[in-house]
Amino acid sequence: MKIKAAVCYEYKTPLVVEEIDLADPRKEEVLIKMVGSGVCHTDIHAQEDGWGGMDKMPMVFGHEGSGIVEKVGPGVTEFKPGDHVIVSYPYCGECEYCLTGKPYLCPECISLIHGGTMADGFSPLSKDGKTIHNFFGSSTYATHAVANVRNLAKVDPDVDLSLLGPLACGFMTGSGAVLGQFKAEPGSTIAVFGLGGVGISALMAAKICNCTTIIAVDIVESRLELAKELGATHTINGKQIEDVVGEIKKITGGKGVDYAVEATGFEPVVRNAIHSMGMGSEIAIIGPATHFEFEQLWGELYGKTIRVINMGMVQPKLFIPKLVEWYKKGMFPIDKICKTYTLDDINVAFEDSLNGTSIKPIIKFE
Ligand SMILES: NC(=O)c1ccc[n+]([C@@H]2O[C@H](COP(=O)([O-])OP(=O)(O)OC[C@H]3O[C@@H](n4cnc5c(N)ncnc54)[C@H](O)[C@@H]3O)[C@@H](O)[C@H]2O)c1
Ligand SMILES: [Zn+2]
Ligand SMILES: [Zn+2]
């Protein structure tokens, strides 16, 4: 079928919104009419350099989709046309990690995300007979997407689908780290570095866990203001305060925090996050700390736990419906951080994410 999609032809160039072809769903696959698709910084990394060259061009990005099942392929029993679904990350479904409910540990996960095709090497996207690669096994910056049933989580049809796409990645990842990995105790202290979709959702989760000291660190004042509204007890503007670590130590009576979330991916921030940890504490490294040299911090890391997070370390089919319940109860107020754009304005949405105008841009489809 013909669909409209945002295609990246070359790194560092604007996405091109145009008509392309999408193949029918095959065995275990589903065709989804997209309703919304969030902008995650991972899409922006892909556009900048294809995750260090892993993403093959041309490619359609987008991995935070929400939509309605339109057609199912052979063998699909879990979904039917009309189901409301969130399109999350791919995994093999057959390895020991997938079989024991930990698909985020699947050794195939990263290659299925960045490899440009489904597991069997086929991409359902093309133009004039030439292959266009898919992303995360779905490519949700398009009016329609085909994905394997494993990627999908079913959600309550009574909730407005248009804002739920980011539950597939950013919102699931930040909150999953705090709720699932830390299981932060009531009364504990936490610092969140970076208040994009990932960091803000970690902060919302810290509130759900009843952390009593919640320190938000960012360089955009409006994000710090919003963080206060959402439950931050302290805010630190990294541009205005030189000694961020000293400030955090001061707030925590010299001890350092029980939990830290690094959601920027910038080396100096990773360093600050580690230095602000207290004894027995845990850190979730979520941004790509690819250039960070952990060896130099051996002494500093004594008695502390580092968790490098992939997709919130959660099974989306089970975790996403829980986030929807919290959203319905007003405990996970994602509507406060989302701003919608049309597919034609996708390059503006990317720009607004980067310049601080919009925490979570969402492409809303007609
Ligand atoms: N590990 C995973 O599974 C996973 C999942 C989703 C996203 N990510 C990664 O997590 C990172 C965050 O994603 P996002 O979509 O929230 O990004 P984002 O760009 O929306 O947010 C990043 C935030 O960091 C802030 N920031 C920048 N420099 C800073 C500094 N020096 N000090 C403090 N704050 C600073 C920015 O102002 C922004 O608010 C990205 O690198 C993304 O690729 C990883
Ligand atoms: Zn697997
Ligand atoms: Zn993402």
Residue 240 burial (CB < 10 Å; 0-12/13-18/19+)? Answer: exposed
End-to-end CA gap in the chain: 17
pLDDT of amino acid 133: 98
CA of 64 to the centre of ligand 3 (A): 7
Q: CB under 8 Å to 299, separation ≥6 — which residues?
A: none
Whether the CB of 207 sits within 6 Å of ligand 1? no
Query: Which atom in ligand 1 lies closest to the alpha carbon of residue 199?
Result: 16
CA of 283 to the centre of ligand 3 (A): 19
Question: Chain centroid to CA 260: how far?
Answer: 18
List the residue whose alpha carbon is closest to atom 24 of ligand 1.
Answer: 194
pLDDT of amino acid 50: 86
DSSP character string of 95-151: SHHHHTT-GGG-TTHHHHHHSSS-TTS--SEEETTEEEB-STTT--SBSEEEEEGGG
**Rg (the chain; Cα; Å):** 20
Q: Which of 143, 109, 137, 141 is nearest to 123 (CA)?
A: 137
Q: CB under 8 Å to 337, separation ≥6 — which residues?
A: 197, 200, 226, 359, 360
CB 196 within 8 A of CB 170: yes
List the residue whose alpha carbon is closest to atom 25 of ligand 1.
Answer: 194
For each of the domains in the chain, give its residue range(s) and CATH number, in order of start.
2-168+333-364 (3.90.180.10), 171-311 (3.40.50.720)
How far, CA to CA in Å, does 307 sit from each of 175, 286, 334?
A: 14, 9, 25
CA of 265 to the centre of ligand 3 (A): 13
Query: Which atom in ligand 1 lies closest to the alpha carbon of residue 359?
Result: 20
CA of 104 to the centre of ligand 2 (A): 8
124-139 pLDDT per residue, tens: 999 999 999 999 999 9
Whether the CB of 215 sits within 6 Å of ligand 1? no
Whether the CB of 288 sits within 6 Å of ligand 1? yes
Prior bond to 107 cis, omega within 30? Answer: no
CA of 311 to the centre of ligand 2 (A): 14
The ligand whose atoms approach the alpha carbon of 197 most closely is 1
Whether the CB of 20 sits within 6 Å of ligand 1? no
Whether the CB of 266 sits within 6 Å of ligand 1? yes
The ligand whose atoms approach the alpha carbon of 199 most closely is 1
pLDDT of amino acid 30: 98
Encoded tokens for 299 = 């002494």
* Stretches in the chain below the pLDDT threshold 50: none
pTM of the predicted model over 0.75: yes
Distance CA 23, CA 230 (A): 43
Residue 187 burial (CB < 10 Å; 0-12/13-18/19+)? Answer: exposed
pLDDT of amino acid 298: 83
pLDDT of amino acid 245: 98
The ligand whose atoms approach the alpha carbon of 357 most closely is 1
